[in-house]
Amino acid sequence: MNERLKKLYQEVIVRHSREPYHYSKDADGEVVEAYNPLCGDQYKLFIEQEESLLKSLHFHGYGCSISKAASSVMVQSLEGLDIAQAKARVEAFMAVLNPEVELAGLSIPEEYLAFEAARNFPGRLKCASLSWETMAKYLEK
């Protein structure tokens, strides 16, 4: 296995794709769909909000290991945050995927950094960002 692959499929991603956090077919809250028609990846995000707080988050659906792990990391790391905090986290995750952003010096959650390797696989960036973009739209509302 080459180094590029090792970086992409490191422990964080494989673990989250195998045992995703709060992965359930039905949960409380508003249901938002994340869908990529090009590859068919499709997730339902269950967002239970209490005033400005993301009280609980769940997700379910079908997709590759990258999109599933990214969704799992998102649900885990945004749960319990308020909207402003969540927006900042979304921004941090998007920075990880953006090849033009220098990450050194930025404060970015450790688990997000696993997805930096997707920069080497332009065809897979969309997998990592799918649920996060959907969440970003939700938070803008």
63 binds another protein (CB under 8 A): yes
User: CB under 8 A: which stretch of 19-27, 32-40, 95-103, 109-117 binds another protein?
Assistant: 32-40
Using the structure block, give the residue that is written with the tokens 């749960």: 79
Determine how many CB atoms are found less than 10 A away from the CB of residue 12. 17
Give CA–CA dist 5/10, Å, rounded: 8
Select 86 or 118, whichever has its Cβ closest to another protein: 118
The burial of 50, by beta-carbon neighbours within 10 Å (0-12 exposed, 13-18 middle, 19 or more buried), is given as: exposed
CB of 53 or CB of 64, closer to another protein: 64
Interface with another protein, residue 1, by CB under 8 A: yes
Question: Counting Cβ atoms within 10 Å, is residue 133 exposed (0-12), middle (13-18) or buried (19+)?
Answer: middle
> Residue 121 Cβ, how far from another protein at the closest point, in Å?
6
Residues at the site binding another protein, with contacts judged by CB under 8 A: 1-2, 4-5, 8-9, 14, 18, 38-42, 62-66, 68, 121, 123-124, 127
